[in-house]
């Protein structure tokens, strides 16, 4: 699978039809998920209407972790097998993951004000999530700071792999430390939210995931086009 798509020509052929497909899927899922979560789903017996923030906050949190884990996998492939597209994939995913992390932090803060009585608390979950956002920014800055793309890719891959240590810290922070943040929605094989909330939550999660797939493919195609243009420019100048 990896070696099949490591070929840029094969990737371009695949992404030419997959990108609009994922884009259309994302649009449909958002069109269903947003009104479902914002207006049609029931209010919570304890939190009331503020529970609706969950449908934009929780998928953003999940996706920021999933995107980072994807970047970790791509970085590992890049360092070990030097696949041509691994660096491109990791770099293309970073701004999308950073946006998900920013959405998670800001909407979490907005949710915290009416439920906890504070916009921010330096506890394990919130702080480790902020660290993830800063790692995303550092990763993006590292790519921008090093001119040689091969070197930049290697440095960024190492930073990404080191940053992976933060993912289990985020996941288990609510179990390890006393925190204002609620425990994980997943309790073994069951979910701790009311069944009536699972539908809009999973629809919004699928919408975020489909949007990620779309934007990742668009970003990767742009990077391949840019490299082709720059290579052609260099050949013309020589």
DSSP structure string for 48-85: BGGGGGHHHHHHHHHHHHHHHHHHHHHHHHHHHH--HH
Other Cβ atoms closer than 10 A to 193: 16
| Complex with another protein: residue 4 or 235, whichever CB lies closer | 235
- Pick from 8, 73, 95, 199 the residue near another protein by CB under 8 A: 95
Q: Which stretch binds another protein (CB under 8 A): 69-77, 91-99, 146-154, 190-198?
A: 91-99
Decide if residue 215 touches another protein (CB under 8 A).
yes
- Pick from 84, 106, 146, 191 the residue near another protein by CB under 8 A: 106
Are 177 and 102 within 8 A, CB to CB?
no
Q: Which stretch binds another protein (CB under 8 A): 110-118, 157-165, 170-178, 190-198?
A: 110-118
- Rounded CA gap, 232 and 236, in Å? 6
Other Cβ atoms closer than 10 A to 50: 16
| Complex with another protein: residue 2 or 113, whichever CB lies closer | 113
Other Cβ atoms closer than 10 A to 178: 7
Q: Which stretch binds another protein (CB under 8 A): 83-91, 97-105, 151-159, 171-179?
A: 97-105
Report the candidate in 159, 141, 237, 182 with the shortest Cα–Cα distance to residue 44: 182
Least spacing, CB of residue 78 vs another protein, in Å: 21
- Rounded CA gap, 103 and 94, in Å? 14
By CB under 8 A, name the binding residues for another protein: 34, 38, 46-50, 52-53, 56-57, 60, 95-96, 99, 102-103, 106-107, 110-111, 113-115, 208, 211, 215, 218-219, 221-223, 225-226, 228-229, 232
């Amino acid at each position: 699978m990896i070696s099949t798509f490591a070929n840029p020509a094969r990737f371009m052929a695949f992404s030419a039809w997959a990108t609009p497909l994922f884009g259309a899927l994302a649009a449909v899922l958002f069109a269903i998920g947003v009104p479902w979560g914002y207006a049609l789903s029931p209010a919570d017996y304890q939190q009331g209407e503020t529970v609706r923030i969950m449908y934009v906050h929780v998928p953003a949190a999940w996706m920021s972790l999933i995107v980072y884990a994807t970047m970790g996998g791509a970085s590992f492939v890049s360092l070990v097998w030097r696949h041509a597209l691994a660096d491109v994939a990791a770099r293309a995913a970073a701004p999308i993951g950073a946006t998900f992390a920013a959405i998670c932090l800001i909407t979490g803060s907005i949710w915290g004000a009416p439920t906890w009585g504070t916009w921010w608390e330096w506890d394990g979950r919130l702080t480790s999530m902020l660290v993830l956002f800063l790692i995303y920014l550092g990763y993006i800055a590292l790519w921008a700071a090093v001119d040689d793309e091969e070197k930049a890719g290697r440095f960024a891959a190492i930073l990404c792999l080191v940053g992976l240590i933060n993912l289990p810290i985020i996941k288990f922070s609510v179990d390890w430390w006393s925190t204002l943040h609620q425990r994980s929605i997943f309790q073994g094989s069951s979910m701790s939210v009311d069944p009536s909330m699972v539908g809009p939550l999973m629809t919004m999660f699928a919408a975020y995931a489909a949007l990620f797939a779309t934007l990742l493919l668009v970003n990767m195609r742009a990077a391949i086009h840019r490299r082709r243009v720059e290579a052609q420019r260099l050949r013309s100048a020589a």
